[in-house]
Structure 1
């Protein structure tokens, strides 16, 4: 099987899978329609991008439609960015301001109007035949890679902020989703870097190597998308937990200082800390797996801002870790009780407020240096 036939086969498989998954996302019943629509649109744009070998079989001459198909690649990474925003923040809505993300596509299309879109067929042929020296294509080539780099930086920055906001305000298990999404974006970044190399080779004397890389990219892209969708569909509640109106504690402190507002005094901190500890020991709110800092603040009648400063800044401990410390202490009490040796680790983690075995094991090892199973075995051996 030669290179061209293999490329066509891989393209057909990739197109079919992307279109099928996009159709599923659009038609499936869910309350998170915006996120599904955005990722479906991303898949459709990806399908349009990889369709080049098939498109060239059907239309073997330069055309406005073919060039437009190429420039639509400028929409891929912005749509992915908006998708990440939509799954990080529970109150995300598409607004007119998001049309700003179309600017690179508009610029890329505009520069092609004078010497491609607005000229006759013969001029189009001449433009494509001399594409390596055409300043418009060189400009667009540089623009799309600058765009990809900037948007990927924006995605990583967004995920870093979202994760920190989660740690400062929530105590559930969704923190794992940000770690996983960070890994997915890292894989996507590597893929885009490979595509960058492919595009550089495409405009060089090594175009055949570029075609082989394209086959590898198509297969990798197909695998990555299927892997991501499988994860997201199996765990639909991993995301969409953060209110975008929340502020990082570092920003709150900066605002307090710039506005000359008084941060609570040591005496006020001690009073609030005493109230907080009594509440945690007596009411055991940490047993609630979805506990938030807003819930605690309402229960002990301390402003959320002050409570956040107390835990996340004064105690130098994220709310997430603060709550997990109590959960782990409760789990250790159960594990140390010889009469409860028949209680499984799974039963214990649910009883103390966790709802994920991986989160429980990670938190337990962070606080004790051992996994729950190993900790129990050591205790049993000490009794013998």
Structure 2
């Protein structure tokens, strides 16, 4: 029975097979050193951007969803924040393609076409959006100057794309507002004609003044009629039917009742009734028609005022859209412009060589212990191995 292995036994194996362990390590170290020397060098430049505070126009009615809400509440409600929109634009082919064309990255990367260069640039581009909305852009280039220029060019291209998008939005909004204003102006003209036709057809000039006049006239007639009926009642008790004063009072009472009927709106027969009706038309429609006419007139007037308010609102928005269209203010604040890096970001030559050495050292050590164990196989185990070999040879001629 074999005794337990000690550290000296393991150390003996390492010393015995030292050439098997050391020479592969030296070879791998030399080979990896040569490989890392020919790997293309990369430098990384970084810039930090902050979207400018948006100035939403009065046309944006849904202010509760504005990205300017405190604490990024707009993002919590499902709407993208300015930083998230900026990140989306950064990853677009429009921006990346412009950088590829500007710096001739197809030749720099040694790729076949522009699409592959865009994909390569995207793989070399890193972006991070902080909680306060700042966007950090890092890009790798084949030289320190190229990396810094590409990072600053990305910031400039982002600003140009956002400005162009805002101008296009302002153009579309201005066109919509202009067309809408023409439509509303036409509606105002139609509503104004409707009010004019209504006034001419119904004899209405001033609803409040005419209504007040009709009510006062009615009150006056009713008051006069009440006094006259009192006098007539006294006359009927004290005077005969053919008495001249009694007859005169009855005629006056009949005339007041007739005028009251005309004022209220009851139609009277005969030419006299028409003449009297014409004389009362100077005050406007009969009193009983004023409630419905007043409601109809108020509705027409309200519709006209609403249309005028809409026109005033659209006019203000049109001026705001024209201002936005002409505005050319920066949309991004460059907090930290990219500078030429002093140290390369890739390849990490020392790390690559160390990893290769460690792997080869581990592999050589495992191989040394394997060979050592093969040399110490017992005769019984050797016979078993030989039997396995023969059985394998028979099954696989």
Same fold (TM over 0.5): no
Per residue, is there more helix in 1 or in 2?
1
- CA radius of gyration, larger in: 2
The alignment's TM-score, normalised by the length of structure 2, stands at 0.23
Greater RCO between the two (CA within 8 Å, min separation 6)? 2
The alignment's TM-score, normalised by the length of structure 1, stands at 0.24
Per residue, is there more strand in 1 or in 2?
2
